[in-house]
Each structure stands twice: as C-alpha cells, then as structure tokens.
Amino acid sequence: MSEQVIDITELKQDEKNFNKGTAKGRKLMKKSFQELGAGRSILIDKDGNIIAGNKSQQSAQEAGIKKVRIIESDGTELIAVKRTDVSLDSKKGREMALADNATAKADIEWDPDLISQLGDLYDIETSMYVPEDQELQINMDDISDNLQHFRQVIVVCHSEDEMNELANQFKQEGYKCSTLTL
C-alpha cells in the first residue's frame, strides 16, 4: 500500500453527485473544519475523482486546508484516520463527534431525478439507499435561505391516513411533497 500527499485542488468533483447538499450543511462543515480540523476521510477513485466527500473537499478547501494525504486500498480493509492531538473524552473530541453526525444529517439534499437516472443507467436498486419517504425531505433552514425559489401549500388534515392519502395523490399528479405532523 502506498501513500502520497497532493494539493487538495487536484481532486476532481463528481459532477453527478446524488447529494446536492444544503446551505446549513455547508456552514456547519466549514465551521467544523476551521475550528476542529479534519477528522474523516473521503473516497476517491483510481483517477482522483471524488466518490464520497465532495462537500468535505469543498469545505476543507474553503477553510484553508491545502493538502490531502492519499492512502491506497483495494477495499479489503477499513482505513481509519487517527488524530494524535485529541482524545474522544475531551471537549474537542466530543464536539468532533457531534459535528460529524450533525453535519452528515444537515448536508443531505437528494437529487431524485439524478438518482433515478443513474440508478437506471447502472442498474442500482436505489430504494435500498434512499427510502422513498426521505427523498423529498424539506429542510426548513434551506427554505428560509431560498424563499425566492420556494412555494408551499399547507393543508390541515384530520388524520394521518387522510394526510398520507392526500400526499400520495399529489405525488401521483407529479408534485413534490412531504408530510409533516406537528
């Protein structure tokens, strides 16, 4: 197994990334890189194309990280990043764990059209990875950041069954919709 260090700009973004990302996720990720440094790996192919970690590469670069250490693997072993300057049971360690999970959740916005298109092209069973009820999650922070591009209709239903029936009807008619129970 070989190791090399390259400039972060040498990595190539996936132009067909299934995750469009979110404004909130990008803010969290950049803040995390600036305040806590890097703590997780990304995945690239043999040609330097990013398979997983497109948003991480962008945010790391924006936060001033300039280098990438590449560890080669054929996928038969797990690669761990060891931070020698931090312990899990410290403020920084626990904040890193929280930031990692919060950022992962906040920065997901699926591109259902691309998932469908590439799923069909490569014969991928996409529902295994993206459950139908999660494809169109509405992130309220992104809505407030992008109000000029977002329109909504609020319908008050008397039961969960009525709500689900109406949502399915809208989906069949071609509308993108999500349900919310308060």
3-state secondary structure of 51: strand
H helix intervals, 13-126:
23-36, 54-62, 91-106, 112-121
In a domain, 134, yes or no: no
Tell me the per-residue pLDDT of 122-133, one tens digit each, with 9 for 90 and over.
Answer: 999 887 787 554
Number of domains in the chain: 1
Tell me the per-residue pLDDT of 30-87, one tens digit each, with 9 for 90 and over.
Answer: 999 999 999 989 999 999 999 999 999 999 999 999 999 999 999 999 999 999 999 9
* Structural domain containing residue 61: 3-106
* Beta strands at 50-52 and 3-7: parallel, antiparallel or unpaired: unpaired
CA distance 161 to 81: 47
pLDDT at residue 136 in the model: 45
Phi, psi dihedral angles at 73 (to 5 degrees) = -155, 155
In a domain, 72, yes or no: yes
pLDDT at residue 109 in the model: 86
In a domain, 19, yes or no: yes
CA distance 2 to 6: 13
In a domain, 163, yes or no: no
CA distance 162 to 43: 43
In a domain, 80, yes or no: yes
In a domain, 13, yes or no: yes
Tell me the per-residue pLDDT of 88-119, one tens digit each, with 9 for 90 and over.
Answer: 999 999 999 999 999 988 998 888 888 889 98
In a domain, 137, yes or no: no
Task: Write down the pTM of the prediction.
Answer: 0.70
In a domain, 174, yes or no: no
